[in-house]
């Protein structure tokens, strides 16, 4: 068990001399708390698997250091790092029984027999695998196989962290939920650092207490699910998280006012004068924009369609050239295609070159 520090860590598959823009992982410095449940979230190709493989030691970084509890482990091999990893597809040693699979990492490390069987028994109980210990592992279902892969990590008493690389990809939808709950329960029980890579925001937000969002080789935000939702640090986080994603529209921002398409909306904070050459946008989640009957004080919009999600309805509208999603208040019936938009100023954020600008209250 350990705290993990990444210090100026970066990696390029074509070597350190490659142009900085081509790096699969751009330099990042951050700390992973001991006992934390982290999710690495991002679309495929964003560098999240690279980061995971750097931590596990499968890939050696082009630059920077990885510290476990302050100790530099960058040059150490995977074996010496005390890391466990669960892969996308279940890795099972075909010829072995479930019990032998679980015992494999301990046997390789020369642990005494009695201790092995005690550990295997305990982990099998923890993972509900006890009844299958003497069965051939190949005959089990995919979710049981993933549990075995996880179990091979858990049997070792010395693991610093457990890494998950999209572990639910091959699991049936209804079992996904079960397995995820199991993971959460294990996390609480065992006080382990867990890092979970996924491109599925629901998986990330339900599993982790800290979600690290990556985009184009960069960590763009790291925070609790609520922070990501309320205050995305980057426009990418805004539209990647949430369904529908955040509305991002170009605007002119001056002090406490933003002008979109000739219409002025009030802001909660004062943004002063923003740099002139930056691309200025405002972002607001659909949950904080309401549809209203058209009125002179409101931003005029054309309704294109209504999505009824059951508990909530969203209107897809068009404002000038930009598309917008907005909440349809309960009981509100849309008169015709024209509508006005009501903003909640507290949740309107300003972005300069895609990065959040902190205003002054």
Partner 1 sequence: MDKTVNQKAWFLVLPVFLVVAFSAIIPLMTVVNYSMQDTFGNNQFFWNGVGWFKELLDPSTDLGERFFASLWRNLIFSAIILAIEIPLGIVVALSMPREGWTVAVCLVILALPLLIPFNVVGTIWQIFGRPDIGLLGYTLNSLGINYNYVSNEFDAWATVIVMDVWHWTSLVALLCYAGLKSIPDAYYQAAQIDGASRWAVFRAIQLPKMNRVLLIAVLLRFMDSFMIYTEPFVVTGGGPGNSTTFISIELVKIALGQFDLGKAAALSLVYNLIILIVCWVFYTVMTNAGAERPQKEGAV
Distance separating alpha carbons of residues 84 and 310, to the nearest angstrom? 41
Residues 59 and 11: beta-carbon distance below 8 Å: yes
Residues 224-253 that bind partner 1 (CB under 8 A): none
**H or E element, residue 221:** strand 218-223
Q: Which of 160/219 has CB closer to partner 1?
A: 160
Q: Which of 153, 223, 238, 286 binds partner 1 (CB under 8 A)?
A: 153
Query: Closest separation between CB of residue 297 and partner 1, Å?
Result: 55
**CA atoms within a 13 Å half-sphere pointing along the CA-CB vector of 130:** 8
Asked if 90 touches partner 1 (CB under 8 A), the answer is yes
Closer Cβ to partner 1, 138 or 181, answer by number: 138
Check: CB of residue 236 under 8 Å from CB of residue 356: no
**Candidate segments 73-81, 222-230, 244-252, 280-288, binder of partner 1 by CB under 8 A:** 73-81
C-alpha–C-alpha distance, residues 322 and 96, integer Å: 58
- Does position 65 interact with partner 1 (CB under 8 A)? The reply is no
**Minimum distance between the CB of residue 112 and partner 1, rounded to whole angstroms?**
16
**Which range, of 38-46, 75-83, 248-256, 333-341, touches partner 1 by CB under 8 A?**
75-83
105 contacts partner 1 (rule: CB under 8 A): yes
271's tokens: 């943004």
Q: 122: helix, coil or strand?
A: helix
The answer to whether residue 58 forms part of the interface with partner 1 (CB under 8 A) is yes
Which stretches of the chain are DSSP H helices? 48-56, 98-108, 113-126, 142-154, 173-190, 201-207, 225-230, 235-240
Q: Which is nearer to partner 1, 156 or 256 (CB)?
A: 156
- Where do contacts with partner 1 occur on this chain (CB under 8 A)? 56, 58, 77-79, 83-85, 87-91, 93-96, 104-105, 108-109, 136, 138-139, 142, 145, 149, 152-153, 169-170
């Amino acid at each position: 068990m350990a705290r993990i520090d990444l210090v100026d860590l970066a990696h390029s598959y074509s070597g350190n001399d490659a142009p900085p823009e081509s790096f699969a992982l751009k330099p990042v410095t951050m700390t992973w708390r001991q006992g934390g449940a982290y999710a690495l979230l991002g679309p495929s190709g964003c560098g999240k698997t690279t980061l995971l493989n750097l931590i596990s030691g499968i890939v050696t970084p082009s630059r920077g250091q990885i510290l476990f509890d302050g100790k530099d482990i960058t040059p150490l091999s995977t074996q010496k790092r005390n890391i466990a990893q669960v892969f996308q597809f279940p890795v099972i040693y075909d010829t072995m029984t479930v019990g032998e699979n679980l015992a494999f990492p301990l046997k390789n490390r020369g642990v005494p027999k009695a201790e092995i069987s005690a550990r295997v028994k305990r982990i099998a109980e923890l993972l509900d695998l006890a009844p299958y210990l003497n069965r051939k592992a190949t005959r089990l279902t995919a979710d049981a196989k993933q549990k075995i892969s996880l179990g091979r990590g858990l049997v070792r008493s010395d693991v610093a962290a457990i890494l998950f690389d999209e572990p639910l990809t091959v699991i049936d939808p209804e079992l996904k939920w079960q397995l995820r709950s199991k993971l959460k329960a294990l996390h609480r029980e065992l006080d382990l650092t867990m890092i979970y890579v996924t491109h599925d925001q629901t998986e990330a937000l339900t599993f982790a207490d800290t979600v690290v969002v990556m985009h184009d080789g960069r960590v763009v935000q790291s925070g609790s699910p609520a922070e990501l939702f309320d205050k995305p640090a980057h426009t990418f986080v805004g539209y990647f998280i949430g369904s529908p994603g955040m509305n991002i529209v170009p605007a002119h921002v001056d002090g406490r006012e933003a002008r979109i398409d000739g219409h002025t909306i009030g802001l909660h904070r004062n943004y002063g004068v923003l740099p002139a050459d930056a691309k200025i946008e405002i972002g607001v989640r659909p949950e904080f924009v309401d549809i209203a009957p058209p009125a002179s004080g409101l931003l005029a919009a054309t309704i294109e369609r209504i999505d009824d999600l059951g508990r909530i309805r969203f209107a897809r509208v068009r404002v000038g050239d930009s598309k917008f999603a907005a909440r349809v208040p309960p009981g509100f019936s849309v008169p015709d295609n024209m509508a006005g938009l009501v903003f909640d100023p507290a949740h309107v954020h300003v972005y300069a070159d895609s990065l959040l600008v902190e205003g002054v209250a």
